[in-house]
Structure 1
């Protein structure tokens, strides 16, 4: 009877010891730093199992010196020794792109920020995308070597893109100016009608630089312009352009 009590107590203590410890981390594809979902993790010592989530994260019951086996479709399995219970980054090599088999021990802590895609400064900072095995039936999607680049990219392309971006920004600001300085808006501030109102709008609509300056105030600007406008002769007030 005492023997069975001893076995039961030992089992409970072992279970309690494992229950107090977990190994947490994230599994990435080596080199690309892409998080890997659905990677299986097996603790060989305690026979505990876990699977990575959509962000590659995992948590498995473990203690120091346990052996964790990581495996997944299209990736070489890797065995990791638990040296401590700090959060770990685990890197796995695609099977079809292994030049040399490297033992990964999961050393290092997790960077909480999301990794951005790498850019190559020699190719005008284009995003580097590794070529994958996707162009045949039954393709695994694993890396097959090389990167995809837009070979015709050059400085002119970049400059044209910047000009297009600036033009779009200016068009948006111009639309805001037209709305703020429309006849319907201006007649709320000044006692002008018909041709004089039209002339005032045409003369004093602010340019982009004026409108976007930090000190610009629409009401103050209209008041200043109106004081100038009423000093004009009746003939000048109905002109739609200062060049007429």
Structure 2
């Protein structure tokens, strides 16, 4: 009897695997053409998502009528219909992200904003991922489904992405591109490059420190950053 249920579940999952197509591609900056790692890509139609890797590459499962949302700190949100994506000779797509201008004034405005409905949705996915821990004794069918199905894997993957988004929101409240430019007096500083270089100013350090501790470390790192001729 149990074997029959297992076979049924795997046949069910096999049906799901053919319902979507994998889109593979790369994300680049509009000005420099440089690849962009860690860009969040969300399928607006079903909530599935992924993130570009260190080389700016990504894979996302979609249907032809789906819509993809691409977001990254300091860049304009990009919304793309899957049917409008064009592939190259290798069957890959290129997504170009446009950097937002940083406007400095008497009031520092954080460009990283999460709307209330977006926060609610992300929290729901994270909670759902945590609640769906395997319980083979009470619900073996649900356990098998969440272990091997595309939906179960996507929920866990998406929850991890959203946890990163919420962490980034906390980071941006203390050290956004605007704050960094204001603090250093360097309006041309590359925020992403600086954050990658300055490993001592990690997300955890930013979140857990304020005032002198945070900004003295930022400035110390900035001096080393400029001394090496970086921009």
TM-score range, shorter chain: 0.3 to 0.5
Return the structure number with greater relative CO, CA threshold 8 A, min gap 6. 2
Greater helix percent: which structure? 2
| Structure whose alpha-carbon radius of gyration is higher | 1
Q: Output the TM-score relative to the length of structure 1.
A: 0.35
Q: Output the TM-score relative to the length of structure 2.
A: 0.37
